Amino acid sequence: MALIDFKNVSVDFPIYNASGRSLKKHIMQVATGGQLGANDQGRVIVRALENLSFTFRDGDRVGLVGHNGAGKSTLLRLLSGVYEPSSGIARMEGEVGSLLDISLGIDAEATGRENIYIRGALLGLKRGEVTRQIDEIIQFSELGDFVDMPVRTYSTGMHMRLAFAVSTVVRPQILLMDEWLSVGDEGFRHKAEARMTEVVQSTNILVIASHSRDLIMHTCNRVIWLEHGKLRMDGDPATVTAAYFGG
Ligand SMILES: Nc1ncnc2c1ncn2[C@@H]1O[C@H](COP(=O)(O)OP(=O)(O)OP(=O)(O)O)[C@@H](O)[C@H]1O
């Protein structure tokens, strides 16, 4: 079982090299992005998320929509454990996996094989688990003998194949994504698509941020609309996308 339970969760970023003199001592909504203001000590703060409350349960396929700076990435980072709430309670149960940046940790000087271990460790896999799966990962990536060459000798597509093959080995209970991963040339894309569908289907809770109405309609059964860091709407995809995208 997996669970995400937020009660009045806010995230503030204190900004240390900006002057708060022109800002009022309260938080204001600006045209785009989160809210900007100064705290009691006169320090500038960006309020990226404000008072979010919701519960995600097994089976929830949640799409996050909102304009630039609305707080989607901040919420995903909060869920992945990169950020902590500045206030409120964020309760999470279940193993969290993120496909937010699949190239994270890839070292251009190391070989493809070494990078599978490095990336695997970042995904929380034990060395033995990587060893058990490495042949399958290499086969999936179709890199052949290049797997023992440094990654700096790879093309962009080869680099992405490697990152994709290793990153999609894990099957987390809570899966976080900011785009539907689509990598490689025509042939590889079909395989990658099938693998992504399998990863998404096997997860208990999916949270995906997207600007694509089609993706949200195909993948999600619930949509959260964030506006200036606040929850504007939480409902079924048809209703929320109609309100957000129009029509
Ligand atoms: N590290 C940071 N320091 C200060 N402010 C930040 C930081 N990260 C995000 N913000 C602010 O938080 C707000 C929300 O940003 P976030 O990246 O979460 O938006 P988003 O919805 O993902 O936007 P986009 O669709 O443009 O990617 C913005 O006002 C942004 O300026």
Gap between the Cα atoms of 143 and 161, Å rounded: 8
What's the fold here for domain 3-94+207-245?
A: Rossmann fold (3.40.50)
pLDDT digits (tens, 9 = 90+) for 79-114: 999 999 999 999 999 999 999 989 989 999 999 999
Ligand 1 atom nearest the C-alpha of 66 is: 21
Q: Where in the chain is the domain with CATH 3.40.50.300?
A: 3-94+207-245
pLDDT digits (tens, 9 = 90+) for 15-73: 887 665 666 566 666 666 778 777 777 778 889 999 999 999 999 999 999 999 999 99
Give residue 191's pLDDT band: very low, low, confident or very high (50, 70, 90): very high
Gap between the Cα atoms of 72 and 216, Å rounded: 14
Per residue, what are the HEC states of 186-228?
A: HHHHHHHHHHHHHHHHHCCEEEEECCCHHHHHHHCCEEEEEEC
Three-state DSSP at 110 gives coil
Three-state DSSP at 54 gives strand
ipTM, two decimals, is 0.95
Instruction: Report the separation in Å between the CA atom of 109 and the middle of ligand 1, taken as the mean of its atom positions.
Output: 32
Instruction: Report the separation in Å between the CA atom of 101 and the middle of ligand 1, taken as the mean of its atom positions.
Output: 16
Instruction: Report the separation in Å between the CA atom of 150 and the middle of ligand 1, taken as the mean of its atom positions.
Output: 34
